[in-house]
Amino acid sequence: MSNITLHVPMDVKVREQLETKAKKLGFDSAQAYIRVWAKAEAEGRTINFGDDWGEPSNEAAERLNNAAEDAKKGYNLSGPFKTVDDFMKDL
């Protein structure tokens, strides 16, 4: 594979924001992020780096945090079950 360097002038602030976004997405640099995007574009693919799930509501986040804390403390609120009947009674 032969490589070529593409120089793209841009505002410093844009470059810094792009670097921050790339790191947040797990890339080691803005260049790596651009390479993945450019390859997909060249191949006619689209890549969605967005979060389709969004943020949980405050209530949901509190429930999740409480469940995580219970798990860290070793609380086992149900199970394990030895029979289906035991499982059904717990429901």
pLDDT at 76 over 70: no
- Look at residues 25, 31, 28 and name the one whose alpha carbon lies nearest to residue 7: 31
Q: Report if pTM > 0.85.
A: no
| Whole-number pLDDT of residue 53 | 67
pLDDT class of 32 with cuts at 50, 70, 90: very high
pLDDT at 79 over 70: no
The whole-angstrom separation of Cα 31 and Cα 77 is 48
Average pLDDT over all residues of the chain: 85
